[in-house]
Structure 1
Amino acid sequence: MDKLIAILKRQEDYARRSLKYVTVDYRMPTVAMLGQNDSEVFLQGDDAQAFVEQVEVMYEQTQTLSKDQCEFIVAYDYLDILY
């Protein structure tokens, strides 16, 4: 599990350097991501729900990562859309 956590933390670091922010509204759900080049991805409906579910599963299974960290790790998969 330590190797997996290390890989996830590298993905988080890369996502944090590539994104200005990731904002998740867990009630709606909606997700907004803004890249360093000011391009934006906005998720709602099923896409946002899938994002939220991935964050929650990762948070529960790792038990060492914060929700904030998990949000950036899941956002890593969307970087190709922004650049």
Structure 2
Amino acid sequence: MRGIEYQIRGVLHYHAILGLMGRLDPFEVMRAWEQCGSLIYIDGNLQPRTGFARVYEYDPSLGGERYVSKYAVKGGIIEIGC
């Protein structure tokens, strides 16, 4: 499940819930995402072209729908699939 929206500066912004098998180190996933693209200057700072990733363990008490639905209300898109 992922929520997609445009930020004020006009770039896409994603939030996603992924079902992963096994144990993953969240920091390893964040580093891998940030290394996917080359570095560019954004707002005067050198940053990964892919932006930043933050990985948290899913909390079933909060629900995935609640997490991504707020982006649809802002005019974003919700995609559900496998």
TM-score by length of 2: 0.27
Question: Larger relative CO (CA 8 A, sep 6+): 1 or 2?
Answer: 2
TM-score by length of 1: 0.27
